[in-house]
């Protein structure tokens, strides 16, 4: 893993453990929705990136134009629209709110790891705390974050037929696409979301039962 990407799925796993949540596959889409949008917008040149070796220790992508997906305002719009879509599909407010928050969490996780290439509303100043320049901190943090989220999800949900599917998901490595095409990025996201849907299809949140 060249940079923190799978850490984005931690909020999806935590949200999926709650009663009335959207499905795990849906929440994996939510976790990477703005990156999916970014990959799609690369094709017509609406947003842009270039490879600049050395721009960050863990990531050579110069994400110099992302006003519609990686501004805080843009991410909030994507979150609201996705939440509305989940509301229409599930008729569950809790599922919609949870999905929207997972989308929004992407920007705040990016804020921690990105070099200054994020914006608040699509225009300078550009911000980012730059944890990608500190692999010795970033990599253990990512591993701890995703491991804790998997543990929470495993403990707060029950599977029909055991946990085998969940461990398949846990062992799936996100395909490397740093230097690849937008189509390869989208394929990677589809693989992860599809595997998450399969892994979560036989799991249900454990309802808390208070003693009478």
- The tens digit of pLDDT for each residue in 19-54 reads 999 999 999 999 999 999 999 999 999 999 998 989
What's the pTM?
0.92
Domain boundaries, the chain: 6-202
Start-to-end Cα distance in the chain: 49
> pLDDT-derived band of residue 211, with 50, 70 and 90 as boundaries?
very low
Q: Which pLDDT value is given to residue 177?
A: 46
Task: Report the pLDDT value the prediction gives residue 5, as an integer from 0 to 100.
Answer: 72
71-83 per-position pLDDT tens digit? 999 999 999 999 9
């Amino acid at each position: 893993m060249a940079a923190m990407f799978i850490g984005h799925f931690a909020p999806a796993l935590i949200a999926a453990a709650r009663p009335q949540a959207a499905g795990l596959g849906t929440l994996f889409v939510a976790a990477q929705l703005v990156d999916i949008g970014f990959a799609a917008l690369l094709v017509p040149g609406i947003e842009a990136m270039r490879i600049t070796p050395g721009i960050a220790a863990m990531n050579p992508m110069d994400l110099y134009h992302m006003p519609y997906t990686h501004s805080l305002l843009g991410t909030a719009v994507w979150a609201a629209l996705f939440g509305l879509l989940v509301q229409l599909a599930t008729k569950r407010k809790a599922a919609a709110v949870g999905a929207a928050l997972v989308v929004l969490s992407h920007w705040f996780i990016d804020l921690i790891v990105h070099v200054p290439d994020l914006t608040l509303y699509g225009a300078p100043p550009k911000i980012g705390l730059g944890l990608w320049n500190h692999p010795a901190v970033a990599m253990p943090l990512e591993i701890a974050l995703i491991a804790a989220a998997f543990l929470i999800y495993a403990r707060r949900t029950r599977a029909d037929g055991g946990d085998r599917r969940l461990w398949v998901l846990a062992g799936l490595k996100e395909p490397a696409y740093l230097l690849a095409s937008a189509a390869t990025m989208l394929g990677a996201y589809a693989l992860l979301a599809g595997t998450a849907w399969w892994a979560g299809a036989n799991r249900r949140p454990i309802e808390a039962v208070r003693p009478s």
